[in-house]
Amino acid sequence: MGQIVGIDLGTTNSVVGVVEAGRPIVIANSEGTRTTPSIVGFTKDSEIVIGDQARRQLVLNPKNTFYNLKRFVGRQWDELDDISISVPYNVKSNDSGSVRVLSPFTEREYAPEELISSIIRKLVNDAETYLGDTIDSAVITVPAYFNESQRQATKDSAVLAGIKVDRILNEPTAAALAYGFEKSSSNNVLVFDLGGGTFDVSLLKISNGVFDVKATCGDTQLGGNNFDSKIVDWLAEKFLMKYKIDLRRDRQALQRLTEAAEKAKCELSGLQKTKISLPFITTSDEGPLHIEEEFDRKLFESLSQDLLDRLFEPVQIALEDSGWDAEEIDEVVLVGGSTRIPMVQQLVKTLVPKDPCQSVNPDEVVAIGAAIQSGIISGDLRDLLLNDVTPLSLGLETIGGLMKVLIPRNTPIPVRQSDVFSTSESNQSSVVVQVRQGERPLASENKSLGKFRLSGIPPAPRGIPQVQVAFDIDANGLLEVSATDRTTGRKQTVSISGGSNLNEQEINKIIAEAKSKATEDRKKRSVIDRKNNALTLIAQAERRLRDASLEFGPYGAERQQRAVELAIQDVEEFIDDDDPRELEISVSALQEALFGLNRRFAAEKKIENNPLQGIKNTFGSIKDELFSDDYWDDDDDPWDNQMNSNYRNSRYGNSRNEDPWDNDYFL
């Protein structure tokens, strides 16, 4: 059985963690960093690149490099705001209104879930390499204010990556788990989570290993990217006024502006002012044009006032729902890189009169919490209990277009609620159950999660039939709805997955396609790795030959040096060959030849402490000189043939040394 990991699937960066020896840790990726950029791209050869590799091609290949994908997950096109779709790559709506991302290099369109699955797969692969074991399942975090569609879409992404989701965990709740781990005191905690693309606030009571979520609220279209956009717009407007050129219409220029804005935002967290310099941002009839602007913290704060106002309201709503006063909060935990912005920290202090906790890493705390939850599921961690809540109200659309709430927001989960409904017309034989999620009184203004029809109701006057509708929410926050006609016992059940960008057929198709290409992808990767390893070995061998020339002179270790040189020639001959076996054999021979040369180096170090070894070395040097090619200018030299025979035997697996000069009897 494989292991369970915790994954923080972030808008900007993603992190994977695991429990080892009873403690949660973050696993570094294959590049050696603890966070992986949530970026997916395609090269001109249609090869997929993920993380840092994808980030490096953002400016030069903006149409085929995709970021901020989390904002598109489980959402319809008409639900997105202007900032979300203001990206350098092409985003469109398909026939059903779902979001699709286009890649010119591969000449196809992708659902956001499909691209995000590649990020999950990379995180899992890196974790498997570190653990030396397979990973079958994971705990994946989502913003607390994600609705049912977005949670289901996140689960779909994991399925496409070949991973079972044991738990969908709210990000602020995960952060609270990490904060309260090994703490025995009782605290009321406010978790303020402002990431790259989403904002959440949650209130929890932590007491002796019990984590009880009291209320949660947030905004899934507000994050650090919105602050970056303020700087981008300011730069673009100034440039437009000066040169009459809108840089936001140029994909490469827009990407450079975005990167410069993010850098300036980060620098202003520690400085009062910074300089934004973008040479050769574009060209005009007069030649190349540049951006050189001073940008200070005061200006940044004035541009971002509306965003601060949007942060204020969810905190107030969460406090009202919990029934707590701000003075009752014992600790404030800041989560997400955007909480490093000084004006955000000052806002939090005005809402809750406490200095924020600095004992957790905002970038890693969610992954640590997810790892803790994975440890609870696997049984590695005990005496911990998590009680979560549903973030939004759930109900039905009734006659007149009103919303009938069955499960109010911030209800503890898992939960089951039901109510009895009837027909609106006489002799009505079926009813349509339309499931909605949201806080508005009119059903049409809330998110539609799906609908189904319950048929076979016996004819009866209006209001007589009784249809019991039940809502079940599991620990992941996923919803199942059932409707039962009490007269006939006829029942209809549906698991809500409406709103996901992929239906079941599309998911199965993508999985089948990935499986069919898995062998081919592994072969390509194997060829590349084998070639890179061979080139590395050649470079090492050449350096060792130079060291040998300096250490022994031209004749001191000629036999070993000659063997290495011949082996290098063989590797170079087969490095571009289609037959992997020949390359493997030649690489093996080069490794053995290098071992022989290194052994000669080691033997030389013993000479000073062993006089007899010095005598042996002297005779060996005389032998090498007498039977070298320079001394015997004869192609039929038996000693030279013997050496070549020994090398070839070594290359093809016969490591027996038959050189008579290496026999100890000659001492």
CATH at residue 147: 3.30.420.40
* Residues recognised as catalytic: 8, 70, 171, 193
In whole numbers, what is the pLDDT of the chain averaged over residues? 83
User: How many CB atoms sit inside 10 A of residue 552's CB?
Assistant: 19
CATH at residue 437: 2.60.34.10
User: How many CB atoms sit inside 10 A of residue 74's CB?
Assistant: 30
Domain interval for residue 582? 507-666
In the chain, the number of structural domains is 4
Q: Determine which helix (DSSP H) or strand (DSSP E) holds 16, and give its type and residue range.
A: strand 13-20
Last residue of a domain, one of 306, 334, 367: 306
**Model pLDDT, residue 632:** 44
Q: Report the distance separating Cα 245 and Cα 311, nearest Å.
A: 33
CA dihedral defined by 608, 609, 612, 618, rounded to 10 degrees?
A: -20
Q: Which residue has the higher pLDDT, 568 or 560?
A: 568
* Over residues 239-257, mean pLDDT: 92
Last residue of a domain, one of 284, 306, 328: 306
Residue 189, beta-bridge partner list: 204, 331
Is 118 found in the same domain as 94? yes
Is 323 found in the same domain as 201? yes
Is 329 found in the same domain as 186? yes
Confidence of residue 646 (pLDDT cuts 50, 70, 90): very low
Is 641 found in the same domain as 537? yes
Is 374 found in the same domain as 443? no
* Over residues 580-585, mean pLDDT: 80
**pLDDT tens digit string along 194-241?**
999 899 999 999 988 888 999 999 998 899 999 999 999 999 999 999
**pLDDT tens digit string along 482-508?**
888 888 888 877 666 444 555 556 656
Is 181 found in the same domain as 160? yes
Q: Which residue has the higher pLDDT, 560 or 102?
A: 102
Is 400 found in the same domain as 382? no
Q: How far is CA 15 from CA 5, 27, 379, 570, in A?
A: 10, 8, 22, 43
CA dihedral defined by 525, 529, 535, 538, rounded to 10 degrees?
A: -150
Is 325 found in the same domain as 421? no
Is 513 found in the same domain as 483? no
Is 382 found in the same domain as 267? no
Last residue of a domain, one of 362, 388, 414: 388
Is 512 found in the same domain as 493? no
Confidence of residue 635 (pLDDT cuts 50, 70, 90): very low
